[in-house]
Amino acid sequence: MSFRGSGGPIHMAASATFFAVGAPVTRADIPVLCADLAELVRGPGGGVVVCDVAGVVRPDVVTVEALARLRLTARRHGWSLVVTGAGPDLLELVRLLGLTDGLLQAGRQVEQREEAGGVEEVVDGRDSPR
């Protein structure tokens, strides 16, 4: 896994800090990713870290663990972490692990057949059960 290179996965922008996670992620990569993120956000201020996971091709539980640990690292330094570029496999895995609210809060789009958050179905008593 490459952490820094030409252009590198880490760069700064005026409104947010961008951090990319590529594939594959191993358990040994997690402390290095967290250290890189901590170095990036250390210091005064705070804001949003946009974590791009579009490069993750075959997500697994280790990928989700890495994202959770990155989120904790950002929070410890006064930043929030937003995950972008998540494919359907990663979204499903995060959902199955029950971490959707913790990892994919902002910018998450409602999938097909899924109700938007805060929407409740109203049942009419005159409707027959199916």
- Percent share of the chain, pLDDT over 90: 54
For the stretch 8-29, pLDDT in tens is 455 444 458 899 998 789 999 9
For residue 60, which of 105, 93, 11, 14 has the smallest C-alpha distance?
93
- The pLDDT assigned to 24 comes to 87
pTM for the model: 0.69
Strand partners for 84: 52
Q: Is 47 left (phi over 0), alpha (psi -120 to 50) or beta?
A: left
pLDDT single digits (tens) 92-113: 999 999 888 878 754 444 444 4
